[in-house]
Amino acid sequence: MPDKQTPKGNKKTDSLEQHVEDSQGQFLTTNQGVKVNDDQNSLKAGERGPSLLEDFILREKITHFDHERIPERVVHARGSGAHGVFRVAEDLSKLTKAKFLTDTSAETPVFVRFSTVAGSRGSTDLARDVRGFAVKFYTEEGNFDLVGNNMPVFFIQDAIKFPDLIHAVKPEPYNEIPQAASAHDTFWDFISNTPESAHMIMWLMSDRAIPRSYRMMEGFGVHTFRLVNAEGRSSFVKFHWKPLLGVHSVAWDEAQNISGKDPDFHRRDLWEAIENGDFPQWQLALQIVPEEDEHKFEFDLLDPTKIIPEEIVPVRRVGTLTL
């Protein structure tokens, strides 16, 4: 039988091939590599007797089964992901020396994960919640992670408050209610004592908060990042993802109705769109501030509870992400 042929890609795609599993011509083995010809019948004491613990294949199989469930994440447990590619539309070498942002002929493999924050892994897709928008670029120079949300600001200025924020937004401790919902007593207790969260609350409680589809949702790096070019010159940058389908949301009553009928609504929408060839696309956009202009604003550029108004620093679209 001829060897399986795989299309040639760039160097990074080729390097990922070593992690692709191909079981052709392989034998079933234990975890220690001992060949197994039967993993369907355990050793027994006699023809009809009980299974014997001396059967190491049985012990290994049951032990593996008992440890299959990895505890879900504390936040962003509910998520949906897809593979795709990113292509930069213009040479950004004046801003950065990262090849995937300077070589317009390069097509960079990516993996994108969308998620809710507060709910458990089995919760609804349409909770009133922030959405995660995380992109991993598999570049030829190494992996680059751009972790973000669908809102351009965050609740807190100092990361030491993050555990307190999450404890507050989780279900009430005495009855485990509500699930995957932010508007409840312990959360409002935290917000009322954290004035810096006011900006984020205006986003979260607005009609814009619940996306119609992951394909119709913006993404933001939230923080201010620094790009450095080959000459060592730095620029501050805010990352944006702009959906080509535009930004669309659902109102609260509509979200509740959809949740009752299809809690997998966003996951299903993403899956079916890709299966049907309607590949979701976003444009990568940047707000760029020269390093020497850092202190020309009335606010701290490094404060994640603030945005840089687009009328002051326009958004520059520089590339396309396709899933």
Q: Give the type of residue at 24.
A: Q
**How high is the pLDDT of residue 52?**
92
C-alpha torsion 284→321→265→122, nearest 10: -90
Q: Which residue has the tokens 């049907």?
A: 276
302: closest CA among 201, 190, 225?
A: 225
**How high is the pLDDT of residue 203?**
96
**How high is the pLDDT of residue 9?**
66
User: What is the distance between the alpha carbons of residues 24 and 26, in angstroms, rounded to a whole number?
Assistant: 6
Q: Using the CB atoms, write b or e for 64-78: b if 16+ within 10 Å.
A: eeeeeeeeeeebbbb
User: What is the distance between the alpha carbons of residues 157 and 197, in angstroms, rounded to a whole number?
Assistant: 9
Q: Which residue has the tokens 């089995």?
A: 122
**How high is the pLDDT of residue 313?**
96
**How high is the pLDDT of residue 3?**
53
User: What is the distance between the alpha carbons of residues 86 and 98, in angstroms, rounded to a whole number?
Assistant: 14
Total residue length of the chain: 323
**How high is the pLDDT of residue 101?**
96
The single-letter DSSP state of residue 250 is: -
pLDDT in tens, the chain (323 residues): 445 554 556 788 788 888 887 778 888 898 888 899 888 899 999 888 889 999 999 999 988 888 888 888 999 999 999 999 999 999 999 999 999 999 999 999 999 999 999 999 999 999 999 999 999 999 999 899 999 999 999 999 998 899 999 999 999 988 989 988 888 999 999 999 999 999 999 999 998 999 999 999 999 999 999 999 999 999 999 999 999 999 999 999 999 999 999 999 999 999 999 999 999 999 999 999 999 999 999 999 999 999 999 999 999 999 999 99
Q: Which of 76, 199, 240, 266 is catalytic?
A: 76
Query: Could you write out the DSSP letters of every residue in 85-148?
Result: EEEESS--TTT---GGGT-TT--EEEEEEEEESSS-TTS-TT-SS-EEEEEEEEETTEEEEEEE
Q: Which residue has the tokens 């810096």?
A: 196
230: closest CA among 117, 49, 97?
A: 97
Asked if omega into 50 is within 30° of 0 (cis), the reply is: no
pTM over 0.75, yes/no? yes
The single-letter DSSP state of residue 193 is: T
Q: Is 76 a catalytic residue?
A: yes
Conformational region of residue 232, where left means phi above 0, alpha means psi within -120 to 50, and beta covers everything else: left
For the chain, list the domains and their CATH numbers.
Answer: 79-154+208-322 (2.40.180.10)
Q: Which of 149, 150, 199, 240 is catalytic?
A: 149
**How high is the pLDDT of residue 7?**
53
Asked whether the beta carbons of 194 and 156 are under 8 A apart, the reply is yes
